[in-house]
Structure 1
Amino acid sequence: MASFQTFNFETQIPHELLISQIMQIHATISKLESLRPSKQVNTLFTHLVKLCIPPSSIDIETLPQEVKTMRESLIKLCGKAEGFLELEFSTFINLTPNPMKNLTLFPYYGNYVKLANYENKILKENGVVNPNKVAFIGSGPMPLSSIILATHHMESTQFDNFDIDEKANEVASKIVASDKALEKRMKFVTQNIMEVKEKLGQYDCIFLAALVGMSRGEKMKVLGHIRKYMKQGGILLVRSAKGSRAFLYPIVDENDVMDFEVLTIFHPTDDVINSVVLLQKPKA
């Protein structure tokens, strides 16, 4: 897929036009036989991302039900396509002599670096510096967030990456195994996070990937479960989306996290798509 360095972030597409174009792309994507990387799949998703990236004042809650239903379907299709893209690249990178040195081949590598910079800065500003133990939930086949955070920002932190998909963890752990020092600090656990209980109390900081809990109901269940078992005073960093970017990823807003203390909500205005919601479980 193309990199997204050439947007004009000043111009807003009128909402009606934006929605009709997104609905057309959704209709085309829905008919594809496969979402695995191909010229057609890459072109469609690149076009979709280009439409959704410029800042937009669109409010998902006020849209007609038909558009909301389309959006939920589109987020699932994006998630599947993203999974296939990551799996293809991690499998390919694992065939190179030094996989850790070749992570930059992933088309969105630069975005992950920027997002990790934002997240690390937000954590530091809120007193989280080199946490002892971190969980990353929904790490996927290409665990770039964990790797970048562990190698550039949290050089002594232990990382546990949780993913429900065994194949994803298998290729991800192979990449990390090519760096012996990192391998000592990074584990991969194949488990549904809803089945992980007391163990969640071990972490100083928990990251929740954007695509864990794709509908609002699922996301609320996951957030409630994590809150129940995480340590008091522990930090939870949740990825979200705002405006038209919410056609690509689920939204988490303040009403969804009333049981937490909201420390910060950050919405990037560059080509980083995910917003960052930083939460703390109140101390008793």
Structure 2
Amino acid sequence: MGNQEEMLVKKITEIYESISKLPDLSPSEEVNALFTELVLACIPASPIDVSKLSNNGEQEMRSNLIRLCGEAEGLLESHYSDLLASNYENPLEHFELFPYYSNYLKLSHLEYSLLARHVPGAPAAARVAFVGSGPLPLSSIVLASRHMRAARFYNYDLSATANAQARRLVRADADVGPRMAFRTVDVMNATREEIAKYEVVFLAALVGIGREEKVRVVAHLAASMAPGAALVVRSAQGARGFLYPVVEMEDLEGFEVLAVHHPDDEVINSVIIARKPPATAGGGVALQPLGHSHGAVVRPCKCCDMQAMNHLTIEEVALEELPS
């Protein structure tokens, strides 16, 4: 690593050590200040490759930090879910109170726009799954209310409490409420028959924090989803990989990767659009090989032309150029 990357790792390690000493990660002035400092340190573009951190201690720190971020994020969402449900007849009309609501609007718009461009049938999907929805399922709600207005969303979360909180948020809304279902189940235990019903599956960034766990989840989805169904995966790039897991192309075996977008603004997550290959005449699937990048050309610009990555087509696009 160069000096710039070493200084960044040192700063993030110092913030991590401060966060680790906190007795509680529930929203508070101290918690909010530390995580704000962390996010501001990770947002700027950085050449750092978190998979190549120099020693096991740094990798362990990163893994622990992602888990702490996930815990804090869950507590923050739980706090605002209860606040909104307790104080408003229709909480969905007051989501602007959540401090990161604008980020969810931008991320959901990006995901929908990429889907519309690369999987033309996806915007008209009737059944959509969101895996890892949490107590404040903003992504599902924004997608359902603003973009996929005919779809029914099936939200998966391990926590019965989180699902109960989410139900309280949507039940009063005449439009979104009837189109939201919540399942308290590990998606790894969902049957192939169940998953095959979904035309689009969204995979939250914190489902499968460790790489091996993420790969197992993706493999289960690849084995279960119907041919032609779309998978939307949230990842991270550069220093943002200290906040969320990084998904590599080889982690998506069984899918065609159609597009990759790395935001350069306050939206933290990268977005990957993939598809279960359509069935062939012989009953199998037309699978493109994954994990080979010979001949790929990565241009140092915000909006890149289509690139060849062996048989994969990967596109990096600017958010403002996508359709609404």
On whether the aligned pair clears a TM of 0.5, the verdict is: yes
The answer as to whether partners of 2:81 and 2:169 remain within 8 angstroms in 1 is: yes
Give 1:111's aligned residue.
103
Residue 208, structure 1, aligned to residue 208, structure 2 = no
Residue 222, structure 1, aligned to residue 214, structure 2 = no
Summarize the alignment of residues 18-33 of structure 1 with structure 2, pairs less than 5 Å apart.
Answer: 18-33=8-23
Question: What is the one-letter code of the residue matched to 1:167?
Answer: T
Question: What is the one-letter code of the residue matched to 2:73?
Answer: E
Q: What is the rounded CA distance, in whole Å, between the counterparts of 2:159 and 2:45 in structure 1?
A: 33
Residue 50, structure 1, aligned to residue 40, structure 2 = yes
TM-score, normalised via structure 1 length = 0.94
Give 1:86's aligned residue.
77
The answer as to whether partners of 2:205 and 2:233 remain within 8 angstroms in 1 is: yes
Give 2:166's aligned residue.
172
Summarize the alignment of residues 259-274 of structure 1 with structure 2, pairs less than 5 Å apart.
Answer: 259-274=254-269
The answer as to whether partners of 1:202 and 1:230 remain within 8 angstroms in 2 is: yes
Q: What is the rounded CA distance, in whole Å, between the counterparts of 2:143 and 2:253 in structure 1?
A: 28
Residue 73, structure 1, aligned to residue 64, structure 2 = yes
TM-score, normalised via structure 2 length = 0.82
Q: What is the rounded CA distance, in whole Å, between the counterparts of 1:130 and 1:167 in structure 2?
A: 31
Q: What is the rounded CA distance, in whole Å, between the counterparts of 1:83 and 1:136 in structure 2?
A: 16
Q: What is the rounded CA distance, in whole Å, between the counterparts of 1:154 and 1:203 in structure 2?
A: 14
Give 1:122's aligned residue.
114
- The correspondence for 2:149, drawn from 152, 155, 160, is 155
Q: What is the rounded CA distance, in whole Å, between the counterparts of 1:19 and 1:147 in structure 2?
A: 36
Structure 2 regions of 5+ residues with no counterpart?
A: 279-284, 286-324
Q: What is the rounded CA distance, in whole Å, between the counterparts of 1:202 and 1:104 in structure 2?
A: 33
TM-aligned CA deviation for residue 184 of structure 1: 1.2
Q: What is the rounded CA distance, in whole Å, between the counterparts of 1:111 and 1:224 in structure 2?
A: 29
Give 1:8's aligned residue.
none
TM-aligned CA deviation for residue 26 of structure 1: 0.7
Moved over 2 A (4+): none
Q: What is the rounded CA distance, in whole Å, between the counterparts of 1:62 and 1:218 in structure 2?
A: 19
Give 1:62's aligned residue.
52
Identity of aligned residues (%): 45
Q: Deviations over 1:201-230 (max 9, x none)?
A: 000000000000001011011111111111
Name whichever structure is richer in helix by fraction. 1
Question: What is the one-letter code of the residue matched to 2:146?
Answer: H
Q: Deviations over 1:108-161 (max 9, x none)?
A: 000000001100110000112221110000000110000000000011111001
Give 2:313's aligned residue.
none
Q: What is the rounded CA distance, in whole Å, between the counterparts of 2:142 and 2:254 in structure 1?
A: 30
Q: What is the rounded CA distance, in whole Å, between the counterparts of 1:56 and 1:178 in structure 2?
A: 44
SS at match of 2:27: coil
The answer as to whether partners of 1:29 and 1:44 remain within 8 angstroms in 2 is: yes
Q: Deviations over 1:5-25 (max 9, x none)?
A: xxxxxxxx9211110010011
Question: What is the one-letter code of the residue matched to 1:93?
Answer: L
Does 128-137 or 242-251 show the bigger shift? 128-137
Question: What is the one-letter code of the residue matched to 1:246?
Answer: G
Q: Deviations over 1:70-116 (max 9, x none)?
A: 00000000000000000000000001222111111001000000001
The answer as to whether partners of 1:161 and 1:186 remain within 8 angstroms in 2 is: yes
Q: What is the rounded CA distance, in whole Å, between the counterparts of 2:220 and 2:35 in structure 1?
A: 32
TM-aligned CA deviation for residue 253 of structure 1: 1.2
Q: What is the rounded CA distance, in whole Å, between the counterparts of 1:134 and 1:107 in structure 2?
A: 26
The answer as to whether partners of 1:96 and 1:102 remain within 8 angstroms in 2 is: no
Question: What is the one-letter code of the residue matched to 1:144?
Answer: L
Q: What is the rounded CA distance, in whole Å, between the counterparts of 2:172 and 2:42 in structure 1?
A: 36
SS at match of 1:202: coil
TM-aligned CA deviation for residue 176 of structure 1: 0.5
Q: What is the rounded CA distance, in whole Å, between the counterparts of 2:164 and 2:43 in structure 1?
A: 32
Q: Deviations over 1:217-247 (max 9, x none)?
A: 1101111111111111111000000000000
SS at match of 1:278: strand
Structure index of larger Rg: 2
Whose RCO is larger (CA < 8 A, sep 6+)?
1
- The correspondence for 1:38, drawn from 1, 14, 28, is 28
TM-aligned CA deviation for residue 57 of structure 1: 1.1
The answer as to whether partners of 1:208 and 1:239 remain within 8 angstroms in 2 is: yes
Q: Deviations over 1:146-189 (max 9, x none)?
A: 00000000111110010001111111111100202211111111
